[in-house]
Chains A and B, each alone.
Chain A
Amino acid sequence: MLKFIIRRFLVMIPQLALLSILIFLLAKAMPGDALTGSMQANPNLDPKVFEELREKLGLNDPWYEQYGRWIGNLFQGELGMSYIHKVDIADLLGDRMANTFWLGLVTLIFTYLIAVPLGVVAGRWNESWADKLIVGYNYVSFAIPLFVFALIMLFIFGFGLHWFPIGGSVDVTVEKGTFAYFLSRIHHLLLPAITAALLSTVGTIQYLRNEIIDTKLKDFVKTARAKGTPEKKVYSRHIFRNSLLPVAAFLGYDIVFIIGGSVFIEQIFSYPGLGQLFISSINQRDFSVVNILVMLFGFLSILGTLISDIILSIVDPRIRID
């Protein structure tokens, strides 16, 4: 067990290293460097001064030396400056990171609230009309692109019915720290979270349904029935307990999916999170921020798959490869 986890961690290290090299090389290919911002701010200064500064900052060194320095700074928590906003990137990320985190968390909660009951119903009464309906929903939610669905949801529930606000993370009029502030935040979170959750249930529902249908035919279930266990208990004690556990392993993959979708969701619902920051930064060619965001999202994706693989190896020992 421990051996597997350690091995899995070791796989993560080259992945992270490769990711950072890729991003660094992309950054080198981008126009502008750490001085572009101040150059634009002081157009009258002699270009020679900047050339000297460049030499001093090591921007003319070979790329691997610069890369080493960049990674060193990242580890010390120095993310650099935004070209456009002229502030430390860490300050820029702060609030938005919290916003994205809450949105992701609420999305996850809704995903499981929708997926688990539907998967259980479809599995227990498979081939019934309810099952057919759920399988139909699964096909549809698999097929629809996230951004089209998000737009239509916003059009119907935001613009048409006015049930939800059409953008932002909180009403500007409410005071921070009050209960109304909290309610307003929840209100702003609901529509994007439900939208993303409705499309991220596919894997969980399908897995749960197949697992329950398979487990139904297993010998220990027949034994339980044979010794006279009531049908309700056969399901709650014997079947669900065995089938629900592996669903936990989808957590990491779901996180990866939600992170990937956050660029679209936050852009469409004008929700001030990291995904929206990414789009606005790249539109303003604020590449220092873009790099950090890609690095951060890549790190979270790698972490997500790691979580899933480890949970899976705990609940299902068969996949442990030594």
Chain B
Amino acid sequence: MSTPIVEKNNISLQQQKTPSGFSVIVREFAKDKLALFSLVLFLGIVLYVYIYSFMLDQEAITRVDLFNIFAEPSSVYWLGTDYGGRDVFGQLIIGARNSLTIGIVITVLTAIIGLVLGLLAGYFGGWVDNVIMRTVDFILVLPTTMIIIVFVVIVPEFNVANFIFIMSIFYWTGKARLIRSKTLAERELDYVSASKTLGTPNWKIMLFQVLPNLSSIIIVNMTLNLAGNIGIETGLTYLGFGLPESTPSLGTLISYSSNPDVMENKWWVWLPAALLILVMMLCINFIGQALKRAADARQRLG
């Protein structure tokens, strides 16, 4: 390389100071064009969906129009209409908004449960650790999809809040495991022992000393979980056991494809929703992988 020596020295001088977390992430995205593209695309989709759904009249979209059943895509109906003559594009936007919102809520809830239990298990060890980890092991071997479906069916007055609650019961385990293993390692470090000797209460050490050191892993894990949770929610809704009818999700649109005629000839009803899920999942994952590399100094590209 023909880089001038002076410039090289400058770089090495700058690197004397450990780069801040944010600048590491910026550098990682600058290096990884695919992740950058994913980030821009995903943010674009999210902004578009939230702003546009704000302007949409949900009443008008869910109103049945018998004169326009299964209309093909046109300038009026960008993606045609479904079996009730309802605009597919509008449903797509509202479905995407609902799926995203619920995915985010579930991700945050499971993160909180997993964080608290993981920190407790890792920090205290002993019987606390044993009880929590055996619970985790048990939930991990359950046929989760089926049990959630059973719950959804037997819960009286099923609604979105119930659904989020049921999902959150089952999907915190992975996070708890991860946080526990990292806390176990962190607990042995000098700064924790020093704090303990000084008499800092345990909860303060956990929240203000150990937790900040795990933040990068938590962010990476939450990003990847978001993709997973959206996938699970839309999947359950596709089978008919997810969001109730009144709250359409992307899975609702895809579920129309269980009718072979819609599947084969009326592709505009379900295919856009399927592709939108696909694109969003890929974007989130590429962003997550870039964040993961930024969080781990050995894997960084830049």
Chain A residues packing against B (C-beta within 8 Å): 11, 15, 18-19, 22, 26, 29-31, 139-140, 142-148, 151-152, 154-155, 159, 166, 256, 259-260, 263-264, 267, 278-279, 282-283, 285, 290, 293-294, 297-298, 301-302, 305
Closest B residue by C-beta to A167: B260
A290 to B227 alpha-carbon distance, docked (Å): 29
Nearest opposing residue in chain A for B241, CB measure: A282
Select A151's contact among B141, B274, B284, beta carbons within 8 Å: B274
Given A144-B281, A166-B260, also A260-B270 (CB < 8 A): no
- Check A159–B264 contact: CB distance below 8 A: yes
The answer to whether A143 touches B227 (Cβ under 8 A) is yes
Main secondary structure, interface of A, reads: helix
Nearest Cβ distance between residue B192 and chain A, in whole angstroms? 25
Contact of A282 among B140, B149, B254, B286 (CB under 8 A): B149
Stretch at the interface among B15-23, B74-82, B89-97, B231-239: B231-239
Known contacts A139-B285, A146-B235; A298 and B277 CB within 8 A of each other? no
**B153 CB contact (under 8 Å) in A11, A22, A155, A282:** A282
- Tell me whether A15 and B138 are in contact in the complex, defined as CB-CB below 8 angstroms, given that A151-B274, A159-B264 are known contacts: yes
- Distance between B221 CB and nearest chain A CB, rounded to angstroms: 14
Asked if residues B146 and A293 are in contact (CB atoms below 8 Å), the reply is: yes
A294 adjacent to B147 (CB under 8 Å)? yes
Instruction: Among B154, B271, B278, point to the contact of A30 (Cβ < 8 A).
Output: B154
Question: What's the minimum C-beta distance from A133 to chain B, rounded to whole angstroms?
Answer: 14
Q: How many Å lie between the Cα of A293 and that of B227 in the bound state?
A: 28
Cβ–Cβ contact B282 & A264, under 8 A: no
Q: What is the distance, in angstroms, from A286's C-beta to the closest C-beta of chain B? A: 11
Within 8 A of A (CB), among B228-266: 231-232, 234-235, 238-241, 254, 257, 260, 263-264
Contact (Cβ within 8 A) A147 B227: no
Contact for B271 among A140, A155, A259, CB less than 8 A: A155
Taking a contact as CB atoms under 8 Å apart, the answer to whether A259 and B227 are in contact is no
Q: How far is the CB of B265 from chain A (nearest CB, A)?
A: 9
Contact string against A for B residues 112-148, beta-carbon threshold 8 Å, 1 for contact and 0 otherwise: 0000000000000000000000000110111111110
B43 within 8 A of partner (CB): no
Residues of A within 8 A of B238 (CB): 147
Flag if A302 contacts B141 (CB, 8 Å).
yes
Given contacts A159-B263, A301-B143, contact A26 B254 (CB under 8 A): no
B281 adjacent to A19 (CB under 8 Å): no
Cβ of A145 and Cβ of B231 under 8 Å apart? yes
CB distance from B41 to the nearest CB of A (A): 14
The 18 listed contacts between A and B (C-beta, < 8 Å) are A11-B137, A143-B282, A143-B284, A145-B234, A145-B235, A147-B235, A147-B238, A148-B274, A148-B277, A154-B263, A260-B143, A267-B239, A278-B146, A282-B149, A282-B153, A282-B241, A285-B153, A301-B141
* B285 contacts A151, C-beta separation under 8 Å: no
